[in-house]
Amino acid sequence: MNPTKTTPDDIRGMKQSGKKIAALTAYDFPMTKLLDQVGIPFILVGDSLGMVVLGFPDTTHVTMADMEHHVRAAARAKPKSLLVADLPFRSYETVPSAVENAKRLLAAGADAVKAEGGHAIIEQVRAIRVAGIPFCGHLGMLPQHVLEEGGYRIKGKKEPEHQALLADADALVTAGAFAVVLELITPPVAKEISGRIPIPTIGIGAGPDCDGQILVTPDLLGMLPWFSLKHVMPKLNAAEQMRAVIQEWIDDVTAARAK
């Protein structure tokens, strides 16, 4: 094994040493290579794949076959970063299917898997860990539940929801998760969870007090100008820049300047 490969223990250790974790998504070989070269320690082949690459309206359309295809592409970059893959919608409804599908993502090249939920999937998480597969949790807004919830809503404002989030975070720790993504959780609750549990919290739209932050890379780079998200301020206008370069090349071709 590559001695410099980032492990789940390394990610956990970053919390202990007070080092913030910068995590991003990748769905293919070039982006995985680039993020790895820049030194991102945690790369997620997220099921956001459905929206940002495959053109679906939400993540519920993503299949195991889609995830395996994109995990294989990302893994060909042989990143030093920990490569985490999402178990897609309905791929972990039962304990046997959760273990079987987690094994398939590892066989495709992932180092760890992530799935959405706390108590509701805790038997699946335990079984995945018993199978020796590193597991990352995901609490708060759960995109795979967007249809039943009727939208993307901030979690933790109401007291029962706040208490449920604390209990879910504790349950994931006990079940053996090495980290947990906190999505669209009210910042004081995300801060409370981060102070309470020994594993790193990686926030997305959950305020500054998580142990790390994760973004969907095309959102960070401004590649999808047709989506606008409150929690992301693009650092680049990649779509505009690509359009300009392509237009310039079209002009060169039509004016017979291109070789």
Element (H, E) at 198: none
Q: How far is the CB of 116 from ligand KIV (least distance, A)?
A: 8
Q: Which of 100, 103, 82, 99 is nearest to 36 (CA)?
A: 82
CA distances from 17 to 13, 33, 84, 137, 196 (A): 6, 26, 22, 21, 16
Catalytic residue among 183, 192, 240, 248: 183
| Residue from 25, 101, 144, 186 in contact with ligand KIV (CB under 6 A) | 25
Nearer to ligand KIV, 36 or 116 (CB): 116
- 183 belongs to the catalytic site: yes
Report the site for ligand KIV in 82-121 (rule: CB under 6 A): 86
Q: Interface with ligand KIV by CB under 6 A: which range of 39-47, 66-74, 94-102, 144-152?
A: 39-47
Binding range to ligand KIV, per CB under 6 A, among 42-50, 75-83, 220-228, 243-251: 42-50
Of 44 and 172, nearer to ligand KIV (C-beta) is: 44
User: Token pair of 24, please?
Assistant: 């991003």
Among 113, 136, 171, 214, binds ligand KIV (CB under 6 A): 214
Residue pair 202/42 in contact by the 8 Å Cβ criterion: yes
Residues 14, 84, 105, 181: which binds ligand KIV (CB under 6 A)?
A: 181
Q: Does 47 bind ligand KIV (CB under 6 A)?
A: yes
Output the residue with the shortest Cβ distance to ligand KIV: 46
Residue 95, C-beta contacts closer than 8 angstroms, at least 6 positions apart: 123, 124, 127
Count the site residues for ligand KIV by CB under 6 A: 11
In sequence order, the 6+-apart residues with CB closer than 8 A to the CB of 222 are 234, 235, 236, 237, 238, 239, 240
State the Cα–Cα distance between residues 149 and 131, nearest whole angstrom.
Answer: 32
The Cα 176–Cα 226 span in angstroms is 39
Quickly list DSSP for 51-76.
HHTS--SSGGG--HHHHHHHHHHHHT
Candidates 11, 15, 42, 46: give the one binding ligand KIV (CB under 6 A).
46
Active site amino acids: 183
Q: Which residues bind ligand KIV (CB under 6 A)?
A: 25, 44, 46-48, 86, 181, 183, 204, 214, 216
